[in-house]
Amino acid sequence: MASDRLLINQFLEMLGAERGASQNTLEAYNRDLTHLSENTRTALLDMKRDHIRAYLAVLQKQGIAARTQARKLSTLRQFYKFLYGEAVRDDNPVLGIDSPRIGQALPKLLSEKQVSALLAQAETQAREKADIKSLRLHALIELLYATGLRVTELVSLPFAAVQSEQPYIYVRGKGDKERLVPMNSRAMTALAKYSDALKNMGLKQGKPKKMSQRAGEKWLFPSRGAKGHLTRHRFAQLLKQLGAEAGILPSQLSPHVVRHAFATHLLAHGADLRAVQKMLGHSDISTTQIYTHVLEERLKSLVQKKHPLSKA
């Protein structure tokens, strides 16, 4: 409906202008609202509580995961809160509708051995092929495991995010918030080799020496695509291909799984939960607490090994 499209666009404009929502967030909200609009005979402006409950019931019958249902309901809460706040409606039909229960599933995990195999495979390919694509993939994976960045943050890093010979990067994350994330020597080395190759490629094409000044390019991982940088989907494909060569099933591997491995392995080796929260860019410690199962196992092991009565 044309009236639905107008309201959705107004809502998305507000999110972008006033809340600084990312493009991915805007696309997710747009998908959820468009799905509702296309799967009901009632205009969004005229929706009642019963209409929304009926829509959620259909999602459940279709076998849509509880987490996805909850996300769609969250979108509707924000949307109708916006309409109420703008006096477009004099009520909020989502009030009183409970979210479906979601069990707290632990994230998929990669062992340290699996990550080592993945990194070794990337390093071997980069050394043997020595082309820009293999060097780029090696740099991407080393950076991902060294920093735990969200995949969108990683592929859209600008040149300015990396300072020459400095062991950290500047990241602009969710809500346009900036944070400083340290990286290890392996990531720095892989990134330096990739940067040199990218610089040399620019020189062969008659471009300026300084990467940061290359005409029309501002991304650390540039691409010819519409966004100007490597997409998250393409990186995920490349990661799965590399994982298969390293003996890891594609179903076990994604950029997000490597991010989980970063957090899990840090905690397993004694990192503080607050420090991991800051590096992951979580605004609330409760989001990071999904990893407390690692802390619990470490504490249990500590008590068993170090407590004076444990041997007794």
Q: Active site residue: 136, 259, 260, 265, which one?
A: 259
For this structure, is 138 an active site residue?
no
Q: Are residues 71 and 165 in the same domain?
A: no
Main-chain dihedrals φ then ψ at residue 227, nearest 5 degrees: -80, -15
Q: Are residues 78 and 125 in the same domain?
A: no
Q: Are residues 70 and 135 in the same domain?
A: no
Q: Is residue 259 part of a domain?
A: no
Q: Are residues 57 and 157 in the same domain?
A: no
Among the three residues 251, 275, 300, which one is the final residue of a domain in this structure? 251
d(CA 110, CA 262): 9
Q: Are residues 166 and 234 in the same domain?
A: yes
Query: Which CATH number goes with the domain that contains 59?
Result: 1.10.150
Task: Tell me which residue of 37, 221, 56 sits closest to 137, measured CA to CA.
Answer: 221
Q: Which pTM was predicted?
A: 0.64
Domain interval for residue 191: 113-251
Q: Are residues 117 and 79 in the same domain?
A: no
For this structure, is 51 an active site residue?
no
Q: Are residues 63 and 117 in the same domain?
A: no
Q: Are residues 123 and 187 in the same domain?
A: yes
Q: Are residues 149 and 229 in the same domain?
A: yes
* Domain total in the chain: 2
Query: Which CATH number goes with the domain that contains 119?
Result: 1.10.443.10
Q: pLDDT in tens for each of the 312 residues of the chain? A: 678 999 999 999 999 888 888 888 899 999 999 999 999 889 999 999 999 999 999 998 998 888 889 999 999 999 999 999 999 999 999 998 988 876 555 567 789 999 999 999 999 999 999 999 999 999 999 999 999 999 999 999 998 888 767 888 888 877 778 888 899 999 999 999 998 898 887 655 555 444 334 434 589 999 988 889 999 999 999 999 999 999 999 989 999 999 999 998 988 888 888 888 888 888 877 778 777 665 565 556 656 666 676 555
d(CA 196, CA 199): 5
Q: Are residues 120 and 198 in the same domain?
A: yes
For this structure, is 256 an active site residue?
yes
For this structure, is 150 an active site residue?
yes
For this structure, is 307 an active site residue?
no
